[in-house]
Amino acid sequence: MNPLASQLNTVLDTTVAGRLLSGLGRRMYFPKGIVAQTSEANARAHRFNATVGMAVSDGEPMVLSGLQRLTSGLTPTETVAYAPTPGVPELRSLWKQEMLRKNPSLSGVPTSNPMVTGGLTNGLFHIGELFLDDGDAFVLPDLFWGNYRLMAEVRIGAQVVTFPLFDPAGGFNVDGLSDALAGRTKAIVLLNFPNNPTGYSPTVSEADRIVSALAERAAGGCDILVVCDDAYFGLLYEENLLEESLFARLAGAHDRILAVKVDGATKEDFAWGFRIGFVTFAGAGLATEHLDALERKLMGNIRASVSNSSRIAQSMLIHALKSDTYHDEKASAREVLKSRYEAVRRILQRIDLGPLSPLPFNSGYFMAFACDGIDAERLRTSLLDQGIGTIAIGSEYLRVAFSTIDESDLEALFDAIAATARSLAP
């Protein structure tokens, strides 16, 4: 094993993070190669910097004039220069400030500095590689984004373990989560709120019970990595929902729990194609040196795959975060989505849904129907024949993204879905 990896393992081995690392995670390190040496040169080479593989003229990267004309207001460095492997330092700092503002329970709690990844998917994949081994339990609700399976099960070989998302009362199934961890000594749990595909977020009391259940299993001897996929963070439309990320409550919940927050600009900042995500670590008993070691592991994995994320997207996000109108602009966009959500609620109360039953939803981009006695895929293709696109999840559920539909068109959309479902019913 490389001595740099061994040094990081020595730092982490007394913690839950060290015990949770996969074989690859233990082997991973950030090398003292071109990137690290270039970083040192950027700080100290005040005469000449002959390190990085870029073309530079008069202290700025060379850029085609046709490209620079398209990026008025940004410098060549902000548009075409390489970004550091963990992300532009200013962006990481700004994102952490925002994270603390949105999650006041994190005040005074040690966390790593958010590291930039190539979108949330890339961040989730890095976590999977660093912590999942072939056969490890990857625990998540039964209604989940299909890409989780592709990453964890197909790419890594982990064992996907599911539990019903909803309990009989229509709330989050805390007992199901706890039961899925029974008897285990290691588990990776992924919780995605607002949930894709259902658009469900836990209430404050449900969140308290989730944290308690995880802490109880940890106290029983299970090392748990909890991955909080916060892609749709902040898009809440009802009262009494948990406004903070579960990450904030898990960060100090138990010394056998390592919490990871994976979020990004994708949905939060309405910048889907930027492909800018962030990964942040925290855990009871993790000190600065432990968090730094985790960062070095993640940096190595980023370096070994995408090397670094888009510089121009990071630069644009920096400017947006520093804008005086940033929060007002986001609030305005969220209000549009909330208004659509409320319209969907009204429509569903009015129309005859026939064999369709709406699953609980209160947030995010989506709602989903359970299909009783009809095949969801047949419903999807029948709607497609009418020029209407939806998503079938197996044969039982149909997901509808109301986020993509203007409010004035929602009634026609749901009328068509309901009428088609009724026509397919036996």
Q: Are residue 134 and residue 155 in the same domain, yes or no? A: yes
User: For residue 52, is it within any domain?
Assistant: yes
Domain end marker among 321, 350, 381: 321
**Cβ distance 78 to 63 under 8 Å?**
no
pLDDT in tens, 352-382: 999 999 999 999 999 999 999 999 999 999 9
What sign does the CA torsion over 83, 317, 251, 179 have? negative
CA–CA separation, 319 and 210 (whole Å): 37
**Cβ distance 31 to 300 under 8 Å?**
yes
Q: Are residue 169 and residue 295 in the same domain, yes or no? A: yes
User: For residue 79, is it within any domain?
Assistant: no
User: For residue 159, is it within any domain?
Assistant: yes
Q: What is the CATH number of the domain that holds 394?
A: 3.90.1150.10
pLDDT computed for residue 35 by the predictor: 67
Please report where in the chains the tokens 């699953």 appear, as a residue: 359
CA angle centred on 261, ends 260 and 267, rounded to 5°? 155
Q: Are residue 65 and residue 213 in the same domain, yes or no? A: no
**Cβ distance 4 to 32 under 8 Å?**
yes
pLDDT computed for residue 34 by the predictor: 63
pLDDT computed for residue 45 by the predictor: 66
pLDDT computed for residue 36 by the predictor: 65
Q: Are residue 351 and residue 276 in the same domain, yes or no? A: no
CA–CA separation, 404 and 384 (whole Å): 16
Q: Are residue 205 and residue 310 in the same domain, yes or no? A: yes
- Total structural domains in the chain? 3
Domain end marker among 300, 321, 342: 321
Q: Are residue 154 and residue 232 in the same domain, yes or no? A: yes
Domain of residue 404: give its range: 326-424
The secondary structure of residue 337, as a DSSP letter, is: H
**Cβ distance 100 to 106 under 8 Å?**
yes
User: For residue 258, is it within any domain?
Assistant: yes
Q: Are residue 21 and residue 166 in the same domain, yes or no? A: yes
Q: Are residue 96 and residue 245 in the same domain, yes or no? A: yes
User: For residue 80, is it within any domain?
Assistant: no
Question: Beta 257-264 vs 223-229: how paired, if at all?
Answer: parallel
Domain end marker among 71, 94, 125: 71
Q: What is the CATH number of the domain that holds 8?
A: 3.40.640.10
CA dihedral (47, 48, 54, 60) in degrees, to 10, reads: 30
CA dihedral (131, 133, 136, 139) in degrees, to 10, reads: 40
**Positions in the chain whose pLDDT score sits under 50:** none
User: For residue 78, is it within any domain?
Assistant: no
Q: Are residue 65 and residue 132 in the same domain, yes or no? A: no
Q: Are residue 296 and residue 343 in the same domain, yes or no? A: no
pLDDT computed for residue 266 by the predictor: 93
pLDDT computed for residue 413 by the predictor: 98
Q: Are residue 230 and residue 368 in the same domain, yes or no? A: no
Q: Are residue 54 and residue 136 in the same domain, yes or no? A: no
